[in-house]
Amino acid sequence: MSNAPDQRNKKDQRDTGNQPSQGDSAAPASEQPEPPAPQPLVHPEPLVRRGHDRGIATLTLDSPHNRNALSARLVTELLAGLRAAAADPNTRAVLLSHTGNTFCAGADLSEAVSAGGTGPAGGAAPVGAAVPAGSAGGAVPAGGAAADAAVPVAGPLGLAHLMRTIVELPVPVVARVTGHVRAGGLGLLGACDISAAGDAASFAFTEARLGLAPAVISMPLLPRLDPRAAGRYYLTGERFDAAEAARIGLVTLAGDPDQVLAPVLDGLRRGSPQGLAESKRLATAEVVRAFDRDTAALARQSARLFGSAEAREGMTAFLERRDPAWAVAATAHEPATPQTPPAASATPPAPPHAAPPAASATSPAAPASQPTASVPQASVSATTAEESR
């Protein structure tokens, strides 16, 4: 007996089961909800702006929310701008400038604290971070894809990479400073070939006040600084002005940057690419040797310090606007630093600019009553030592 009718019945049942029942109501296509419209891509504003004028490529640090601190993103953009300038055959020099009243505040302490003391672009990385293989003394290659793959933009090796990129760039790098420079920002300044600072500029090596030391930034700085002055300002964290910065070799020229740099930039425009590159190589040879010799050891020192209990207390105290636990009061009646945060303001008053006395090993520290500029509340959570410290 044939099974064909049973098979047809089963097929009919399956087909019927796939159809909507009379109680179901399929919505017409016109009533189906439309997919959400694609959202436009939002590109963040650059932290390093680029320009070009008659052979001079301008890179402007534009991160006012954290006073141009060396965040990983800012370092990445700055490296890209430097390499683009070096690859342009029409560029004779790079002019490194800034917006706001701070050239660079150093490490982004918000990144350091959020990473447990192991991650600011300007200061730290996990202890034992790998040193690029094949580089003498742990030196960091100056640029290119291999450098990007081998070296992070964060941590002491990231800062060393940025500074060495500036030192070994085949075109001169000129710094234009019209504001404050602190801690790691001084390493950025020291890596430049020529620099000019205006009357509103102030400088301070504030690492010792945070439980740190100016480790990797010493590579471009110590070969160029007066030794006695380096000892004094490394240890005391005192502020000093543009005239003193020029006297000790931190900057090249003191005065209105646009005026004093005009003949400098004119001279660079007249140089040949080969002549500029080879002349710079001669002038920076000692600094390059310092990178070859000291990068690995100083990076380890920096990572060790950033991971220490004293540094964590120093950075936390700074962000909380209080004295660290280990600070000694300046006098018997007042704290070492103000306990009450200054009122927030968009533009802090400029610090005094009287040049300090000649640097010497026995020079006394600045008196505790020296006025300090206020720090806007918006930026205190993301900067290293600033005017108020």
Query: What local confidence, expressed as pLDDT, does residue 382 receive?
Result: 35
Give the single-character DSSP code of 136.
Answer: G
Second CATH level (architecture) for the domain 48-310: Alpha-Beta Complex (3.90)
Query: What local confidence, expressed as pLDDT, does residue 329 receive?
Result: 73
Nearest to 237 by CA among 366, 362, 130: 366
Query: What local confidence, expressed as pLDDT, does residue 155 receive?
Result: 84
User: What does the alpha-carbon distance between residue 352 and residue 243 come to, in Å, rounded to a whole number?
Assistant: 12
155 Rama class: left (phi>0) / alpha (psi -120 to 50) / beta: left
Give the H/E segment covering residue 241.
Answer: strand 240-241
Amino acid at the residue 240: F
Cβ atoms of 345 and 29 closer than 8 Å: no
User: What does the alpha-carbon distance between residue 116 and residue 112 come to, in Å, rounded to a whole number?
Assistant: 6
Question: Do β-strands 93-98 and 48-53 pair in parallel, antiparallel, or remain unpaired?
Answer: unpaired
What does the domain layout of the chain look like in residue ranges? 48-310
Query: What local confidence, expressed as pLDDT, does residue 262 receive?
Result: 98
Distances (CA, A) of 26 to 33, 126, 152: 13, 60, 57
Q: Per-10-residue mean pLDDT for the chain, 389 residues long? A: 52 50 53 70 85 97 94 94 97 98 88 52 34 35 45 80 97 98 96 98 96 97 98 97 98 98 98 98 98 97 94 92 87 48 36 38 36 33 39
